[in-house]
Amino acid sequence: MMARRCQGGSVLSAIAVAIAVLAAAACDSSGGQARDSGKADWQMQSDRMVKEQIESRGVKDPRVLAAMRSVPRHLFIPPASRDDAYGDFPLPIGDSQTISQPYIVALMSELLEVGPGSRVLEIGTGSGYQAAVLAAMGVEVYSIEILPRLCERARETLTELEVDAVQVRCGDGYGGWPEVAPFDGIIVTAAPATVPGPLLEQLAEGANMVIPVGNFYQELKVITRVGRDFQERSVIPVRFVPMTGEVERQGG
């Protein structure tokens, strides 16, 4: 009898300890631990995104994979869609524009064939995410965004995240960034019908331009400068928002 009561007592005290531990954990999670578990949560989602959406489709460059794991994609996405940040699809970023699907960001980053110290021009800053991924690869990024509101927001996001290697210019990217040219890579994340001439001129010898070309049907192309010539190959069909501004006036 005694023994049984005693046993019952120890079960009760074990439950009491368990409740105390749970209560302590619950208290903690409203304080400092909340931030840590938030970080652990997005990191888990981002690791899974890289494994299931990017490596599985053949992207291999270790610098690209590491950058895609480390950049907090959710912080580039408006709060309303943030829960879907690591999904296998593009998302709205306001002003009828979109942040590309993670796989496309990784693929384009790999196709540039750039690394630490390279200088890359981006046309279409959008949220700033693609630029941040390149910066995480050690690249110096010069990015141009035509819509003032997106341009300002991207600047703010990149400043908050202390991404110093990206310079953002607000305006039409048609003419490129001649003061800094030639570039070791050019990435265009809005689709023109034809490739803007000034961008081709700003490509360094041996460098790649990664660009979606077309109207409704678009192809992702890699254009490489070889001396005074350009070699071009199509990679996959894609669907980007149109490149606007001067390129449309040129009928391109």
State the nearest-atom distance from the C-beta of 79 to ligand SAH, in Å. Answer: 16
State the nearest-atom distance from the C-beta of 10 to ligand SAH, in Å. Answer: 58
Q: Which long-range contacts (CB under 8 A, 24 or more apart) does 181-185 make?
A: 181/121, 182/207, 183/119, 183/120, 183/121, 183/142, 183/207, 184/114, 184/118, 184/119, 184/120, 185/112, 185/113, 185/114, 185/118, 185/119, 185/120, 185/121, 185/139, 185/209, 185/210
| 163 belongs to the binding site for ligand SAH (CB under 6 A) | no
**Window of 6-14, 62-70, 224-232, 239-247 that interacts with ligand SAH by CB under 6 A:** 239-247
Q: Who's near 224: CB < 8 A, 6+ residues apart?
A: 206, 207, 208, 209, 230, 231, 232
The reply to whether 100 belongs to the active site is: yes
Using CB under 6 A, pick the residue from 189, 202, 208, 218 that binds ligand SAH: 189
Using CB under 6 A, pick the residue from 46, 53, 97, 202 that binds ligand SAH: 97
State the nearest-atom distance from the C-beta of 30 to ligand SAH, in Å. Answer: 33
C-beta separation of 234 from 213 below 8 A: no
The footprint of ligand SAH on this chain (CB under 6 A) covers a number of residues equal to 25
Which one from 10, 29, 100, 109 is the annotated catalytic residue? 100
The residue ranges that bind ligand SAH (CB under 6 A) are 93, 97-100, 123-124, 126-127, 129-130, 144-147, 150, 172-174, 189-190, 241, 243-245
Question: Annotated active-site positions, please?
Answer: 100
